């Protein structure tokens, strides 16, 4: 068998999966909330009932990847336990408790000619998800797609393939048990990277593609996909201490933004300090140091570090780095506009925070930045679907089209205009 | 000079235009409505004051293209007159009368922890527009971008280049006269097709690309662009006469949908008739024939045509064709589901209409179709930003991401979340 033959086979197979998803999506689109919630509960129950089988499959993946040299951190994310499965099942039950995003009337009016016009939320159709070796995302993505009335085509990492295969079967059984089509949740893991490429070009069959994972994965999807994709998750977030920043509040917000959880996109990566707030910096740096943070300081900031606080000299690269670790870049700026310039230059447009007592400075900061979220006197960690009250979170969009910031179920819907006349024609 | 050198020069030049647009966009984003509306009025006044110069430049374009064999229809669209310029100027003044889409609060709440959260509309930043040889679109696009607080990078057809150059200069003078940056409206016409390609790949500098024109242009942008693009304008629209469709209403809606204006995307291209409404078809076909419509009928429909009404036999190609002319495909279907199947297969997802007296049939039609707009007992021609009360219209989106159906100024904005705390940290 030649390479070309393989490619053609993969293309045909993946497109067939997408076509079946499209057919299934029509049933999903008109399914009532009662049916969709019953499916979510059946999925949760199935995961618990089949936990031994799921964990056994997962153990094969974990053993193979450990053998292959996967890092302990990634191995941990790959590993399922009874307790983790129970948490995953609970997340499905929570999804069932959320309102149905489908059918919500977004706008409406009676036109001057008497036509009654409504714009209502409808499912996208087929949602493609490409993600890395985390079996929980398989369940999460399937649940989010289902609740929003969409069929899902999933491409997980090959490192989780044994487990994903079992998970998909359990989810499909649950769909069938409530009379929904099995094709509403399908995997293309069997078709490898080639299959993922076909998915990215299945324009017309797949309505939106949501990559979930690291920078490389997301950039590949954004660059290659002809299916509309939503860019998520890269966060080079900043905290700016304004001239009027109070000391304790500065320490609280900087510490929380940096150290509350370091591997997430809404963690702070750079601290900017107005030169008139320099007197607060030694205490802030000391608190960060005691929390275990490595401080990458420009010369002015380094000069202000107490003797017991070691620093490393920041380079150009530090300003642009999303560390995702206990590291923080620190820089003194001449004024708020210099802070804004720095952020505009290096930010990924995720979240920026200002600590200030000056209402004018807060307004200026909000007005002149161009990021998905701006925090005034609050930690960057609040940019989160759960914290924002959106219920579920699909990801955090750093693009401007369709969705920006935390995306909930509503962002997996589109709209239809419906006009009711009684024989209206245009004059 | 080699081809490579040219390409590199074009790339640098177009990216420089985009970069200057990005800088200008920051001023536009914070400009008040008063300033933006003053600019729109200055633009309108400028077009009228400079009409002789604009029309002289246009005459050069028209003469060159007539020489080159441009069709009379396209020549007409290319031609500017005093009256047409006055209409274009009036459209700018109308834009000034519309509410500012920037700053609108979309959602907001006080979170359980006391953080005050708002989601507000902000400009996209830099909007790219690629369109064909219609000088009115240059002004229209510049005005829409300005009102929504965006900088615009315009790529018009080379056939309108002399005129566009003068128009851009007039628009830039108007911007300058109210203190806004000239770079807020720029053209890359000088860089030809190569320049358009650079624009499509200026991800990070250009925030959204809106192609306006024919199918080929739009498909090229959708396929090639790494800048997020909005697919617009292709409309293979259907009218379905249900079993209960009343005769006069059927005639009115079919005639209006087909013949009111044939070259537009919301004109009907296929008529589907329930077999139980066959008795109405002869009168409907006769009315269409008298209006000058060529009828492409399947066998069953052709058999029902009166003797004085000629028909041509429809082929598979007819069902998929957006005629944009006085042609209509006609087909008899067994039931409403057969109509829905046909529409799902051939529609471009723009607009479909049902004529019926049966509330169940209307609901079924709305529920099972997947198009941007569904008309119940109204002409397909109503899918229009003006008719829907959106004020201005940028185009009609046939994609599902970001905007669907008629797009107004609001669709040229994105959102920012702003959270106000008083030292909030995440527990």
d(CA B184, CA B149): 9
Inter-chain touch A402–B404, beta carbons under 8 Å: no
Which one of B374, B418, B426 has the shortest CB-CB distance to A381?
B426
Write down the ipTM of this complex. Answer: 0.92
Which one of B228, B255, B425 has the shortest CB-CB distance to A399?
B228
Within-domain flag for B426? no
On whether both A267 and A220 belong to a single domain, the answer is no
Inter-chain touch B425–A260, beta carbons under 8 Å: yes
User: Does the pLDDT value for residue B2 go beyond 70?
Assistant: no
- B156-215 residue pLDDT tens: 988 999 999 999 999 999 999 999 999 999 999 999 999 999 999 999 899 999 998 888
On whether both B248 and B166 belong to a single domain, the answer is no
CA distance A45 to chain B (A): 31
Sign (positive/negative) of CA torsion A382, A388, A389, A391? negative
User: Does the pLDDT value for residue B421 go beyond 50?
Assistant: yes
Residue B1: pLDDT band with limits 50, 70, 90: very low
* DSSP at A323: -
Mean pLDDT of B46-68: 97
User: Does the pLDDT value for residue B274 go beyond 80?
Assistant: yes
On whether both B329 and B411 belong to a single domain, the answer is no
On whether both B222 and B248 belong to a single domain, the answer is no
Q: Which residues fall within 8 angstroms of residue A16, CB to CB, at 6 or more apart? A: none
Residues in B touching A249 (Cβ below 8 Å): 423
Within-domain flag for A336? yes
Q: Which residues fall within 8 angstroms of residue B11, CB to CB, at 6 or more apart? A: B194, B198
**pLDDT at residue B74, as a whole number:** 87
Q: Which residue of A has its CA nearest to B349?
A: A416
User: Using an 8 Å Cβ cutoff, are A128 and A143 in contact?
Assistant: no
Q: How many domains does chain B have?
A: 2
Residues in A touching B246 (Cβ below 8 Å): 423
Within-domain flag for B401? no
On whether both B144 and B253 belong to a single domain, the answer is no
Which 3-state string (H, E, C) describes A183-237?
HHEEECHHHHHHHHHHHHCCECCECEEEEECCHHHHHHHHHHCCCCECCECCCCE
CA distance A29 to chain B (A): 8
Inter-chain touch A425–B253, beta carbons under 8 Å: yes
User: Does the pLDDT value for residue B5 go beyond 70?
Assistant: no
Phi/psi of residue B359, each to 5°? -60, -35
On whether both B355 and B253 belong to a single domain, the answer is yes
Residues in A touching B253 (Cβ below 8 Å): 423-425
User: Which of B421, B422, B427 to mutate: most A Cβ within 10 Å?
Assistant: B421
- A58-102 residue pLDDT tens: 999 999 999 999 998 889 989 999 999 999 999 999 999 999 999
CA distance A66 to chain B (A): 34
Domain that residue A248 falls in: 237-387
On whether both B82 and B27 belong to a single domain, the answer is yes
**pLDDT at residue A2, as a whole number:** 42
Within-domain flag for A401? no
Within-domain flag for A96? yes
On whether both B295 and B327 belong to a single domain, the answer is yes
Within-domain flag for B252? yes
On whether both A209 and A257 belong to a single domain, the answer is no
Q: Which of A125-129, A217-221, B381-385 has the lowest mean pLDDT?
A: A217-221
User: Which of A19, A31, A228, A391 to mutate: most B Cβ within 10 Å?
Assistant: A228
Within-domain flag for A8? yes
Inter-chain touch B415–A405, beta carbons under 8 Å: yes
Mean pLDDT of A1-19: 77
On whether both A75 and A222 belong to a single domain, the answer is yes
The percentage of chain B sitting over the pLDDT mark of 90, rounded to a whole number, equals 86
Task: Supply the CATH number for residue B339's domain.
Answer: 3.40.309.10
Inter-chain touch B376–A207, beta carbons under 8 Å: no
Mean pLDDT score across all residues of chain B: 94
On whether both B259 and B116 belong to a single domain, the answer is no
Mean pLDDT score across all residues of chain A: 94
On whether both B139 and B282 belong to a single domain, the answer is no
Which one of A228, A256, A416 has the shortest CB-CB distance to B374?
A416
User: Does the pLDDT value for residue B97 go beyond 50?
Assistant: yes
User: Does the pLDDT value for residue A209 go beyond 90?
Assistant: yes
Beta carbons within 10 angstroms of residue B26's beta carbon? 17
Within-domain flag for A402? no
User: Does the pLDDT value for residue B6 go beyond 80?
Assistant: no
Residues in A touching B248 (Cβ below 8 Å): 423
Residues in A touching B222 (Cβ below 8 Å): 203, 226
d(CA B375, CA A409): 27
Task: Supply the CATH number for residue A130's domain.
Answer: 3.40.605.10
């Amino acid at each position: 068998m030649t390479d070309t033959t393989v490619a053609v086979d993969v293309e045909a197979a993946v497109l067939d999966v997408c076509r079946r998803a499209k057919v299934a999506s029509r049933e999903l689109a008109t399914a009532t909330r009662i049916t969709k919630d019953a499916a979510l509960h059946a999925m949760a129950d199935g995961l618990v009932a089949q936990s031994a089988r799921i964990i056994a499959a997962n153990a094969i993946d974990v053993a193979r990847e450990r053998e292959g040299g996967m890092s302990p951190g990634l191995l941990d994310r790959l590993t399922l336990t009874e307790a983790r499965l129970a948490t995953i099942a609970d997340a499905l039950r929570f999804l069932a408790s959320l309102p149905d995003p489908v059918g919500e009337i977004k706008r409406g009016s009676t036109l001057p000619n008497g036509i009654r016009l409504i714009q209502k939320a409808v499912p996208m159709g087929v949602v493609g998800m490409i993600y890395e070796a985390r079996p929980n995302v398989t369940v999460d993505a399937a649940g989010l797609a289902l609740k929003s009335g969409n069929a899902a085509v999933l491409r997980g990492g090959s490192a989780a393939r044994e487990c994903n295969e079992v998970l998909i079967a359990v989810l499909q059984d649950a769909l069938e048990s409530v009379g929904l089509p099995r094709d509403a949740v399908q995997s293309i893991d069997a078709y490898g990277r080639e299959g993922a490429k076909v998915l990215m070009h299945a324009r017309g069959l797949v309505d939106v593609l949501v990559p979930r994972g690291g920078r490389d994965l997301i950039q590949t999807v954004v660059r290659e996909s002809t299916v509309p994709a939503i860019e998520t998750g890269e966060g080079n977030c900043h905290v700016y201490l304004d001239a009027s920043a109070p000391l304790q509040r500065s320490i609280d917000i900087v510490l929380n933004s940096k150290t509350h959880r370091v591997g997430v996109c809404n963690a702070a990566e750079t601290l900017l300090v107005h030169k008139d707030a320099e007197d607060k910096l030694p205490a802030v740096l000391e608190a960060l140091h005691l929390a275990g943070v490595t401080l990458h300081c420009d010369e002015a900031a380094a000069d202000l570090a107490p003797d017991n606080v070691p620093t490393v000299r920041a380079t150009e690269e530090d300003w642009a780095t999303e560390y995702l670790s206990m590291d923080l870049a620190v820089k003194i700026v001449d004024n708020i506009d210099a802070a804004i310039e720095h952020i505009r230059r290096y930010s990924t447009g995720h979240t920026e925070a200002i600590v200030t007592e000056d209402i004018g400075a807060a307004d200026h900061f909000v007005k002149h930045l161009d990021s998905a979220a701006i925090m005034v006197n609050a930690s960057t960690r609040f940019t989160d679907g759960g914290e924002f009250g959106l219920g579920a979170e699909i990801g955090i969009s750093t693009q401007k089209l369709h969705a920006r910031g935390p995306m909930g179920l509503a962002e997996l819907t589109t709209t239809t205009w419906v006009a009711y006349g009684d024989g209206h024609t245009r004059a």
